[in-house]
Chain A
Amino acid sequence: MAATSTRTFRPSAGQRRLGAKLIGAALSLAFVLVFNFFLFRVLPGDPAKNLTRNRLVPAEQVEVLRESFGLGKPLPQQFAQYVRDTLSGDLGISYKFRRPVSEVIAERIWPTVLLLGLSTLLSTAIGLWIGIRGAWRRNSVFDRVSLGASLALYAMPEFWLGIMLLIAFGVGVGPLPGLFPTGGLSSPDTELASLAGVADVARHLFLPCLTLTLAYIAEYALVMRSSLLDELTEDYLTTARAKGLRDALVLRRHAVPNALLPTTTLIFLNLGFIVSGAITIETVYSWPGLGLLSYEALRTPDYPLLQGVFLLFSAAVIIANLIADLLYAYLDPRVRTG
């Protein structure tokens, strides 16, 4: 269209909104960087000394380390160096592993992605289904039982649920032997790239995945239920029924799509909560992902590693939220045009 292209660029409301979201996410990431920098500086003791404690290190080597942290320079220069290093993927050296933090973290990403991805998928599907059924047949036996179970699951620490499942299905109760391995990613001497290897990992994955799925189902079921209950009071549903639509169609075509909108945002906002779950559950089942890595780092305590993991978790959640916002604008025409 030649007529529009000659005009000066005027961003539409949707584009302005998109721009605001991008800037917001970038600001949040910048905040994380600043926070991380100052946290490191207020830590008790000299970072270079912390790094070398419990070891006999020649004074000149400590000096080299101090140089690499830029500790002799003024704060703004330190900050500039820190930002440069972080953006280029240099997160420092882990105290515990004595290797670059980025290397240690990279090895641990995939187990966490596998565990969180699978349990998020399962819990979303099951949780939404339970929520929809409960709200649609409100106060039915199904609704009451699922609501009670959801509230109970929501009220227990997820790691406690994990330990209980570990005792019941991993260790075994009384004469019953344990059905599943109690920890780790795979048995010591299995080849991962084989059918037996995949089956072995699946057996190890089962309990942590079950725990996380149960822990998240509650949240999704509760949110979906209340969101659909809100929607069910709307007049357009009465209209839909009045024009003779079957109940199932009223639910599927009218109520659920609208109720899903607020739920989508909440699911993504919940990613922070999901990450928290990963830390404790991976600890309980010694699942070698980022969660267990955080636990190892805080027990040492290994500050560079801890900060690296925090940076990664925060960035992941911020970006996921940005995607959720964009998705939301795509799903909801009112947001897109308005």
Chain B
Amino acid sequence: MTQPTIEEPLGGAPHADTTVPPSLPPQLSPRAISRARRRQAAARAWQEYRRNSIGMVGLAILVLFVAMAVFAPLLVPESELDVTKATGAPFSPPSAEFPLGTDESGRSVLALTIWGSRVSLLVGFLASVISVVIGSVVGIAAGHFGRWTDSLLMRVTDWFLVIPFLPLAIVLATVLGPSLANIAFVIGITSWPGTARIVRAQALAVTSRPYIERARALGAGDWHLITRHILPNVVPLIFANTVLIVAVAILSETTLAFLGLGDPLRVSWGSMLDAAFTQGAASIGAWWYLVPPGVAILLVVLAFTMIGQALESVLNPRLRGR
């Protein structure tokens, strides 16, 4: 490995090094230079990512599922989800007409699985956005301001970290009532502490660097320091972390929906498993109703995990030698 041990924060701050890459014309403004550098860094990261076969397999699976979710109305008309228009017999095994069999009211399990991908992925993404935004804000604030802000925020973070996730989520979801937005909110509000911890550590490392002191001496305020210096250094880390959070969020949605806390008006993989289980699909051996949503969850979560790990090994120099 020719890569030297890098003590730099992740991503390489635009202000941290002074050499201008030879490919850039010298007359550009500082902002244009930093933007071009960031583009170059992203291109380099992508080059490295492409060499990671596990990451590419994960990406392929994910693209497939996202396409399925986006084009669901083209693949299967929404009317197939209507219980009153169901044509099949209840709990009939896979056949030519219903490749994955039917559910308790005679609907196609294939259609349900395709449509279920929409809610599962949407809740996963929404919850991750909420979680990552809270985690990043808390982490950066704690790391940058330090002192009592840090102790207070870390106290709250530790509390959320130690409280068992599912009981807390159940209590919150029961109080808020079942809906897509509430489920995303509950998962987001309970899953941010990990991100906050990671971001805080990175923000602390950046804040203690001499160039931050220099910027402060030149009159930079907290807002400038955070948005121009700390954030660019933390973003790659947040990015890799987000991908892993989506995996956890999708699993959480499934669990909450399985317990009957999902949106009752929409089909998700978790609500399919809930319906299948409460309607007794397991005791009559209707595996075709239970296997497709489970396999879909497994593949999507696996895809996110693979992408997240690949991203981490690309973006975190410490892991590169592994």
Segment at the interface with B among A52-60, A124-132, A269-277: A269-277
Complexed CA–CA distance, A273 and B162 (Å): 10
- Most A-side CB within 10 Å, residue of B261, B285, B305: B285
A157 engages B282 (CB within 8 Å)? no
- Most B-side CB within 10 Å, residue of A269, A273, A276, A317: A276
Nearest CB of chain B from residue A335's CB, rounded to whole Å = 17
Give the residues in chain A near B164, CB-CB below 8 Å: 271-273, 275-276, 313-314, 317
Q: Which of B161, B165, B259, B301 meets A283, CB within 8 Å?
A: B259
Nearest CB of chain A from residue B94's CB, rounded to whole Å = 14
Give the residues in chain B near A284, CB-CB below 8 Å: 277, 282
- Interface residues as binary, B277-300 with A (CB distance below 8 Å gives 1, 0 otherwise): 100001111010011001001100
Nearest CB of chain A from residue B61's CB, rounded to whole Å = 11
Q: Which residue of A lies closest to B283 (CB)?
A: A171
Decide if B155 is an interface residue (CB 8 Å cutoff).
Answer: yes
Give the residues in chain A near B298, CB-CB below 8 Å: 152, 155-156, 160
Complexed CA–CA distance, A313 and B170 (Å): 12
Give the residues in chain A near B282, CB-CB below 8 Å: 163, 166-167, 171, 182, 284
Decide if A299 is an interface residue (CB 8 Å cutoff).
Answer: yes
Report B146-161 residues with CB < 8 Å from chain A CB: 155, 158-159, 161
Nearest CB of chain B from residue A59's CB, rounded to whole Å = 27
Complexed CA–CA distance, A295 and B284 (Å): 22
Report B242-267 residues with CB < 8 Å from chain A CB: 247, 251, 254-255, 258-261
Give the residues in chain A near B255, CB-CB below 8 Å: 157, 159, 276, 280
Decide if B175 is an interface residue (CB 8 Å cutoff).
Answer: yes
What does DSSP make chain A's interface, helix, strand, loop or mixed? helix
Nearest CB of chain B from residue A65's CB, rounded to whole Å = 20
Q: Number of A interface residues at 8 Å Cβ cutoff, please give it.
A: 51
* Given A275-B164, A280-B255, A306 contacting B171 (CB threshold 8 A): yes
Decide if B322 is an interface residue (CB 8 Å cutoff).
Answer: yes
Decide if A328 is an interface residue (CB 8 Å cutoff).
Answer: no
Decide if A164 is an interface residue (CB 8 Å cutoff).
Answer: yes
* Given A157-B254, A306-B174, A27 contacting B302 (CB threshold 8 A): no
* Given A160-B290, A167-B282, A279-B259, A317 contacting B162 (CB threshold 8 A): yes
Decide if B89 is an interface residue (CB 8 Å cutoff).
Answer: no
A→B interface (CB under 8 Å): 24, 27-28, 31-32, 39, 42-43, 151-152, 154-157, 159-160, 163-164, 166-167, 171-173, 182, 229, 233, 269, 271-273, 275-276, 279-280, 283-284, 294-295, 298-299, 301, 303, 306-307, 309-310, 313-314, 317-318, 321
